[in-house]
Structure 1
Amino acid sequence: MKPIAVIGAGGYVGARLIERSELLGRPQLVSIVRTWLSQGRLARYGVRTVRGDAGDRASLVPLLEGCGMVVNLTLGDDKRIVGDVQAMYTACRDAGVPLFVHMSSAEVFGRAEDPALREESAPDGQHWMEYGREKAAAEAWLRSQWDGPVKVVILRPGLIWGPGSGWLVEPAKALVDGTALLYSEGRGVCNLIHVDNVIEHLMVLAQSEPQSGVFNIADPETLSWAEYYHAIAREVGADESAIRLAPDSDFRESPWKRLMQLPPAMAVKSRMSGQAKVRVKQRLKDLVASRHPESRPFVPQPSVSKQFWWVQGTARKLPSSAFAERYPTVRLQSFPDLMAAAGRWLRWAGFECVNGYSPGE
């Protein structure tokens, strides 16, 4: 099997793919990062990364030559999504790569409220989130290249969870702190896919004849948000009955969050490095603390972002059978097994209630 080029190798899925490659000795990867800051997550594996900009075709072509598949796992500025995809696809064409795999998102369909949605359905591009709109626009452009010299596979994962993922860590923190809150009374569909199941899809594609297609990908099971939180609670020893439930209409975004979404604030944030953002946040915290120096008892309060609230209202699980129909060798791991492994990682990482309960028993 020819090497797989991973553009955006420093992210969550890329790091897990590299870890798997190091542990199993396969597949051979070309790990591409935009800046050396992205090397931090990968340093413990001792792998060699190469530097290339997803939006710069010329920087990518020599890195992609000889590869059998290129995977786009980039994250970052939403405004760059379409331009970066066009540059990566063109680089694949110029480097003679037969298959380009674009990681889109199930978020292009929002809350999946239309019962007529099919895997081949094209998103309408009217999402309230810029991320959803730009992902939809990138899909539309790639579909226009369907019959070109480079075959294109679009994968639409749901919420990618697993050890270290925010979709596991944030619920676990809230459960341990006693601040877990679910909107839509926890009845919304939790559209999950474990990171290892994402990678299984990629491995199957790498070993198959290149052909274009678009696929929703998800874990086999259908879970509500309440069921997902209850499963995590059992692993960390939290009281499941302490999870607060609220109707969807109760959500109110904080004034500070609304302020940060205004165009001037977004423009400033887009020009700041990640380190600068961390420093600004810390200075604001220090300023608030200096104005209230007296000791006060701290009572944790539920805090749910607009994105978290939004996904908790997902109406239905998207259809996701087409991949297995085309590639019957795909083998996905089950939620109980994956949650048991995630629970072991959570307890190792310190997410455990001290209440006499032994998680996993």
Structure 2
Amino acid sequence: MMERLAILGAGGFIGNRAVEMLYLGGRHEVRPVVRAAQSLALASRFPLEGRVADGRDEAALAEAFQGCSSVLHAIAGDLQTIVGSIEPVYRAAQAAGVKRIVYLSSASVHGQSPAPNTTEQTPLSRRQPIAYNNAKVEAEERLLSLRQQGGVEVVILRPGIVHGPRSFWVGGFADDLLAGQAYLVDGGVGICNGIYVDNLVHAVALAIASDIADGEAYLLGDSETYSWHDLLAPVGEVLGYPLAELQPPVAEEPRGILRRLLNDGTLKGIARRFPRPIKAALKAGMREMAVSRAGAAGQGAASAPPVASLEMSLLHRCAWKLQHAKATRELGYEPVVTFPEAQRRTLAWLQFAGYPVNR
């Protein structure tokens, strides 16, 4: 008898591919779970019983998980959703009698440019400059804490940059090329710690089946070492935009970083404790930046060079290839799709999706 797997976030890029591969693989009875009914559109190609449940609605989740032995937590959302979905999902899984949760975290818990010799054992920090990283670290910590108190097993997967058909990293870059906004920091010579989406789903299946993975975290990636230029140059080539002709970006200004940290909530808790004069100074600075941006827009800012965010600057300058030796040793993970084949499939998807591919 096949085990039933609930895929939470089944309408997203990774979740939908997991539905496709695991259902067609014939080893799992798949139940897509999405936040809104329209997100079941892709999964409806298959004879599956989908469920609608918000990732923070414990009661709805418990009902959606009934009869499932495993749950894949593949929700992609804002910072509040990343952290706020952890306890409801775990409590719901426990109420439904689920055996195991496989949680899709991110290699970004180690930073966008990890230090040499970084492994799963490297201590994590919630004081990173990228709020997404901190949210994922907190989510992992909460999940493992719940595991210590509860009976539902937990396996954490830390994939790198997940690429392939429908990926933000591919489609978004193609869109930016067509809009004249694409860039690579330092030509994209830094290492891309990437993983083709099918390789990630393969790892998910292994994590579900493993007898020794409970409570463990696993870094995941492709076998090959490749740069950001290697990943994206073929996209530029088929669209007729050689990456050598891209306008070099300028670095994000310190005040831009501050504005982003304030907007995404990274400094929100700290700012509450600031003395009143400092709060007033920050507000004044934000007003000044708003005026400055408005003036720049009126002077033709659209022709200005692209601005490289801190996140992209770190990613494009990465110098360390994360290893998945632990996943190989304990899960039996070996990528099932090579990087050249992943590139071929991705470029074919660009044409299928209607991008103006050179023929």
**TM-score calculated relative to the size of structure 1:** 0.78
Change (3 A) 1:343 1:303: farther
CA distance in 2 between counterparts of 1:64 and 1:264 reads 32
Contact 2:114 2:318 (C-alpha < 8 Å) held by counterparts:
yes
2:16 maps to 15
1:118 and 2:122 matched? no
Residues 53-109 of structure 1, C-alpha deviations (whole Å, 9 max, x = no match): 222222222322321211111122312323311221122222221111111111111
2:217 maps to 214
CA distance in 2 between counterparts of 1:83 and 1:174 reads 32
1:325 maps to 329
1:225 maps to 228
CA distance in 1 between counterparts of 2:155 and 2:48 reads 27
SS state at 2:3 partner: coil
1:336 and 2:356 matched? no
Matched letter for residue 30 of structure 1 = R
1:350 maps to 354
Change (3 A) 1:193 1:342: same
CA distance in 2 between counterparts of 1:124 and 1:200 reads 29
Change (3 A) 1:254 1:161: farther
SS state at 2:95 partner: helix
SS state at 1:223 partner: coil
Residues 309-358 of structure 1, C-alpha deviations (whole Å, 9 max, x = no match): 4422323122222111112264421000110111111123233455xxx5
CA distance in 2 between counterparts of 1:98 and 1:223 reads 37
1:34 maps to 35
CA distance in 2 between counterparts of 1:328 and 1:9 reads 25
CA distance in 2 between counterparts of 1:303 and 1:26 reads 46
1:7 positional shift: 1.2
CA RMSD in angstroms comes to 3.3
1:157 maps to 159
1:82 and 2:73 matched? no
CA distance in 1 between counterparts of 2:304 and 2:198 reads 33
1:44 positional shift: 5.2
2:187 maps to 185
1:251 maps to 251
CA distance in 2 between counterparts of 1:102 and 1:36 reads 23
CA distance in 2 between counterparts of 1:63 and 1:210 reads 27
Unaligned runs of 5+ in 1: 267-287
1:93 maps to 94
1:245 positional shift: 4.5
Contact 2:350 2:357 (C-alpha < 8 Å) held by counterparts:
no
Matched letter for residue 226 of structure 1 = H
The aligned length equals: 325
1:259 positional shift: 5.9
% same residue: 29
Q: 1:242 aligns with which of 239, 245, 260?
A: 245
SS state at 1:190 partner: coil
Structure 1 window deviating more from structure 2 (43-52 vs 62-71): it is 43-52
The equivalences for 1:252-331 within 5 A come to 252=252, 262-263=262-263, 302=306, 304-328=308-332, 330-331=334-335
Unaligned runs of 5+ in 2: 267-293
Contact 1:112 1:317 (C-alpha < 8 Å) held by counterparts:
no
CA distance in 2 between counterparts of 1:126 and 1:258 reads 15
1:136 positional shift: 0.3
CA distance in 2 between counterparts of 1:162 and 1:341 reads 7
1:196 maps to 198
Contact 1:238 1:353 (C-alpha < 8 Å) held by counterparts:
no
